[in-house]
Structure 1
Amino acid sequence: MRLTQLETELKCRLGYPYRWGRKQNNYWDKATNFIYQTPHFDQLLKHFEQAFAQHPEKQQWLDYTLNRWFNFWSAQALEKVFCHASAGVRPASDPQDSEKDFFITNIPFDHKTTVFPQRYPHSLHYAHQHPETLLQWLYEHQSKGKRLHHKNRLFVVLYDTYEQNHWQLKAYLTWLKALVDYYVHHFDSSRLFRLPGAYGEAPILADIIWAIR
């Protein structure tokens, strides 16, 4: 599916509230794993109805399904954007590798798109001026799922100045692509932030791509 087509599909989800209602867990994840084979939003809703039409917690399952689907397909799209941004970028050989998605000039990186965290104890302006403090905070407060690690990572940090619907920016793939392309084309490894590694390991290389609207 082309990037513009997937962007259209993702934007179909914007009319629904973004709420989890619970922490992610293996049981709910397994029951909604059909999201991985369903890039089209109308097909997602049909599949959901087939699975949960009579469920007493149908609304909670819908919220959970929509969020997983939205986050997964947006992340998949951005990973491909990174890998096609420049000849200097190549994908990781194992698509199931939890520690890296791609290499930029032979440096391995995982990538994570995240909204600017509400619990971060400083303002957006402060974080923009002191990005290393936000990076440290993100590593310390990362989710405890299968992608928990202290390895190199590029964060795409979303912030919606106007409507505060930060999560919705994940759907604007064309706009995000322009930001990623610019970053990769001007990539300079000497400007990466170096954070202390865990348990005496080598320093972590990390950076932020700011996606502020």
Structure 2
Amino acid sequence: MDVSTLESELKKRLDFPYNWGRKQSDDWDRKTKFIYQTHDFETLENQCKDFDDGLRNYAFNRWLNFWSAKVVESIFVFNPLVEKEENQFSKTVDFYISGIPFDHKSSVFPRQFGKSFDYSVNHKKELIEWLYQNQSQEGRKHNTNRLFIIFYNEQNGEHWKLKAELALIKEKITDYLDNFSEDNLVSLNLESCEILSDVIWVKI
């Protein structure tokens, strides 16, 4: 499925509320693992027809997040500056930029951070430290290099909807890579781990 078709499918999910009902967990991840093979929203709805509201919302959200993130990864690896990680099962590396390994994570602007958008942009290191400290505590937790793609919708606060704006995401990532420099990365020391990180803002 090409990016424009996938963008159209992802946007069909935007008509439904974005409610998790609970934090992401390994248990519910197993129950909704079919999202990895589901490309269109109609099929997704059919697969969730016997779920209660909580699990259906969870599946809808995971599906949107997964396919948006897959496109993010493909945008990176098609750039000549980037090399894909050969181990597709790696939980800590998605790709290498100028030889530097990175995992990437797409997230909505975290209101729990308690700071404004402008403050977050101007205090990037503080935001990144908060993101690491408040990451999921199960299979996703790790302290290694990470690029955060953060969505911010100034118009209506529905940041999550920008995950379906694949053309806009491509524009922001391409601009980031065109101006990439290791000197601009944020350096952290977390739990005795030396980490390089950065934020790419996807904002309207």
TM-score, structure 2 normalization = 0.96
Give identity over the alignment, percent. 40
Deviation at 1:23, TM superposition (A): 2.1
Give the match for residue 41 of structure 2: 41
Give the match for residue 72 of structure 1: 66
Deviation at 1:149, TM superposition (A): 0.9
Mapped to 1, the partners of 2:86 and 2:103 lie a distance apart of 13
For structure 2, the residue ranges without an aligned partner over 5 or more in a row are: none
Deviation at 1:65, TM superposition (A): 1.1
For structure 1, the residue ranges without an aligned partner over 5 or more in a row are: none
Mapped to 2, the partners of 1:25 and 1:190 lie a distance apart of 36
Mapped to 1, the partners of 2:103 and 2:8 lie a distance apart of 26
- Secondary structure at the aligned position of 2:113 is classed as coil
- Structure 2: which amino acid aligns with 1:148? K
Equivalent positions of 1:149-164 (< 5 A) are 149-164=142-157
- Structure 2: which amino acid aligns with 1:209? I
Deviation at 1:117, TM superposition (A): 0.5
Mapped to 1, the partners of 2:27 and 2:115 lie a distance apart of 35
Mapped to 2, the partners of 1:135 and 1:28 lie a distance apart of 27
Mapped to 1, the partners of 2:62 and 2:82 lie a distance apart of 27
- Secondary structure at the aligned position of 2:115 is classed as coil
* Between 86-95 and 103-112, the greater mean CA deviation after superposition: 86-95
Equivalent positions of 1:1-213 (< 5 A) are 1-49=1-49, 52=50, 58-84=52-78, 86-199=79-192, 201=193, 203-213=194-204
What's the Cα RMSD here? 1.2
- Secondary structure at the aligned position of 2:112 is classed as coil
* Number of equivalences: 204
Mapped to 1, the partners of 2:45 and 2:197 lie a distance apart of 37
Bigger Cα Rg: 1
* Between 141-150 and 175-184, the greater mean CA deviation after superposition: 141-150
- Structure 1: which amino acid aligns with 2:26? N
1:132-152 deviations in Å (ceiling 9; x for gaps)? 110111111111132211111
- Structure 1: which amino acid aligns with 2:67? W
1:50-84 deviations in Å (ceiling 9; x for gaps)? xx1xx5xx222211110111111111111111111
TM-score, structure 1 normalization = 0.92
